[in-house]
Amino acid sequence: MEPISTAIIAALLAGAGNAAKDVAGAAVKDAYSGIKAIIQRKFDAGSDTCEALARLEAKPESKGWQEEFVGALDRDGVGADQELSEAARKLMQALEASPSGQTHIQKIVGNYNAMADRGGIAKVTVTRKD
């Protein structure tokens, strides 16, 4: 995945999650509405991207809908779109400036991943069955 695609996907996922909440500030809602309008203008209403976005908005915490949305964006090749890239940058700036503070997005892909928080310890043990 290209860096631009990653930024767009992260901004949309964070924006979809925050714009759906009443606590999101006006700047976040406006930036999210702007990026959503660009997507709706550039892609047909029945496209994978628009349908995946609608599902994600209905349930932004769903890992399945997030993965489907990421796949739809990849299939539609959004990484090279400068207008979407700029809109994603503005949304990320609005999220960082929101009252809830900075939003941290981490995407882990693959098997055997571990993550620790607040001084914890994470361990992955992989054994081979013979």
Does residue 127 belong to any structural domain of this protein? no
How many distinct structural domains can be found in the chain? 1
In a domain, 102, yes or no: no
Distance CA 53, CA 72 (A): 9
Euclidean distance between CA atoms 84 and 38, whole angstroms: 7
pTM of model > 0.75:
no
- Does residue 20 fall inside a structural domain? yes
Tell me whether residue 62 is in a domain: yes
Residue 125 in domain: no
Which residues span the domain enclosing 77?
Answer: 3-97
Please indicate, yes or no, if residue 108 is contained in any of the structural domains: no
User: What's residue 6's pLDDT?
Assistant: 63
Where is average pLDDT lowest: 53-57, 70-74, 78-82?
78-82
Q: Is residue 130 part of a domain?
A: no
